[in-house]
Amino acid sequence: MLDITTLMVVLALTTITSALGLLVASFLNRQVVAIRYWALGIGVIIVGVVLQSMRHQVPLWLSAAVITQGYFVWLWGTRCYRLNGHINGFWLTMCLTLLVQGGLFFVLRDSWRYSVVLYSLIVVLVSLLNIVELWRMRIPQRALIWVWSSLWGVHSVIYLRRFLLYQFDPVYMAADTLDAAESVEALNYLEGIVFVYCFSLLCVILATRSLQDELKLQATRDPLTNLLNRRAFEESALRQLAISQREREEVALLLMDLDKFKCINDTHGHGAGDEVLKAFARHLSQQVRAQDLLCRFGGEEFVLLIPGGNSQSIDALAERIRTLWQTQTFTVAQGELSATVSIGYISSADVERQGLYSLIDRADKALYRAKQDGRNCVRCWQPEPILTPVPS
C-alpha cells in the first residue's frame, strides 16, 4: 500500500483538479449559486491537505480544523442548491463553526485519538446532513438523489469505521501519530481521492439539472406573473381535457380581463400596471386548486381551466374572485388605486365535441357580454336561441 505522504500528495492533486473544474463550471453557470460554495469548499480542503502533508512543521489540529471547515462550506452549498439561491449569513456562520470546532481541536491537540474521533464525528454528521438536504428537494430525477446519497453514505461509513476503530480497537487506541495508524488512514485517503472526483462530477451534473429546469421554467412561465404562458397552458389544457373526456367529468373555463387597464398604465405608468398584474396573479393563485390550470393569456387577460367543476361552484368561485379583487388597493406615486375585473366563463360536460378553442371562444363571448353590461361582473355563456320561422 502507498505511504501516507504519497496518498496526501495524490489527494491534494485530485482536489486541485476538481476545484479547477468546479471553478470553471461556476464561472460558466453563475446563476447556480451552490456550485460556487462547492468549489470554495474544495479550495478550503486543498489548504487543509497541504497543511496536513506538512505535519512535521504544522500542528495537525490546525489542518484538521481547516479540512472539516471545508465540509461545512460544502453543506452550505448543498443548502443553497435546495433553496435555489443565496442564503444570508455565510461568513458569520463559517466564522462561528471554525471558532467552535477549531477550539475543540485545539483543546484536544495533545490527544491524537480524540482528535481523530472528533474529526470523524464531524465528517459523519455533515455527510448525513448533505444527504438530508438533497432528499428534502422534490426533483423528478430521483436517481441523482440516490447517487448523491450513496456517495455521501459510503463516505460516512468509512469515517464511522474510523471512529469505531479509534474508540474500541486497542491498536488504534494506542496510536499517537498519523503514521502509527497508517492502515486505516491509508484507506481513508484512498476513499477520499475517489470521493472528491465523484463529488465534483455530481456537482456539475446537479448544476446542469438546475440550468435545464431554469430553461424549462423560462419556456413555460410568464416572466412577470410566473403563471403559465399561453403555449404551456394550451399544451397542459389539451392533456387535461383528454383526461376529463375519459373520466366523463365536467370542466369549466374562465376568461378574466382587468377593467380599464390601459387607463392604469396611462395614468400611473407601466410600473404600476405591472404591479397590478402581479397582484392579480397572486390573488388568483390563492383562489385555485393545485390541479387547476392558471395562465396569463395575454396583456391583462387571464384564463383558468377547472376540471371537475359544476355551474354553481364555478359561478361562486368567479364571484369570489371578482368581489375580493375589487376590495384591494395599491399605493403608487400618485396615491392609491384599485382595479376591477370582468369574468366570462363556460361550464360544459361535452368536452369531446367542444374542445379547448371552442371553450375559449365561448368564454370570450361571455366576457364580452360582461363588458357590455358595465364591467366588474360575471357572465356565463349561454347558447343563443335558434329562431325558427313560424308557418303562415
CATH assignment at residue 47: 1.20.1070
Boundary residue ending a domain (169, 190, 219) = 219
Q: Which of 55-64, 186-195, 216-225, 349-358 has the lowest mean pLDDT?
A: 349-358
Residue 389 domain-assigned? no
Statement to judge: residues 295 and 166 lie in one domain: no
* Residue 173 pLDDT exceeds 60: yes
CB 308 within 8 A of CB 249: yes
The number of CA neighbours under 13 Å toward the Cβ of 89 is 5
Boundary residue ending a domain (198, 219, 240) = 219
What's the pLDDT score for residue 94? 95
Task: Please state, for a pLDDT cut of 70, what percent of the chain lies above it.
Answer: 90
Residue 387 domain-assigned? no
What's the pLDDT score for residue 389? 55
Statement to judge: residues 238 and 205 lie in one domain: no
Statement to judge: residues 159 and 252 lie in one domain: no
Statement to judge: residues 210 and 234 lie in one domain: no
Residue 388 domain-assigned? no
Statement to judge: residues 276 and 297 lie in one domain: yes
pLDDT digits (tens, 9 = 90+) for 266-275: 888 888 889 8
The enclosing domain of 365 has a CATH number of: 3.30.70.270
* Nearest C-alpha neighbor of 81 from the set 169, 182, 213: 213
What's the pLDDT score for residue 246? 85
CB 291 within 8 A of CB 304: no
Statement to judge: residues 200 and 245 lie in one domain: no
Statement to judge: residues 290 and 180 lie in one domain: no
- Selected residue with higher pLDDT from 177 and 46: 46
Structural domain count of the chain? 2
What's the pLDDT score for residue 177? 66
Statement to judge: residues 180 and 318 lie in one domain: no
Residue 90 is part of which domain span? 4-219
pLDDT digits (tens, 9 = 90+) for 61-119: 898 999 999 999 999 999 999 988 888 999 999 999 999 999 999 999 888 888 889 99
pLDDT digits (tens, 9 = 90+) for 310-319: 778 888 999 9
Q: Which of 93-107, 160-174, 235-249, 378-392 has the lowest mean pLDDT?
A: 378-392
pTM of the predicted model as reported, rounded to 2 decimal places? 0.67
Residue 225 domain-assigned? no
Greatest mean pLDDT among 136-140, 336-340, 346-350, 361-365 lies in: 361-365
Boundary residue ending a domain (155, 186, 219) = 219
What's the pLDDT score for residue 351? 60
Statement to judge: residues 119 and 76 lie in one domain: yes
Statement to judge: residues 75 and 112 lie in one domain: yes
Statement to judge: residues 314 and 195 lie in one domain: no
* Residue 152 pLDDT exceeds 90: yes
Task: Please state, for a pLDDT cut of 90, what percent of the chain lies above it.
Answer: 39
The number of CA neighbours under 13 Å toward the Cβ of 35 is 27
What's the pLDDT score for residue 387? 45
In DSSP terms, 137 is beta-bridged to: none
Q: Give the mean pLDDT of 206-217.
A: 79
Statement to judge: residues 146 and 253 lie in one domain: no
Q: What is the mean pLDDT of the chain?
A: 85
* Residue 48 pLDDT exceeds 60: yes
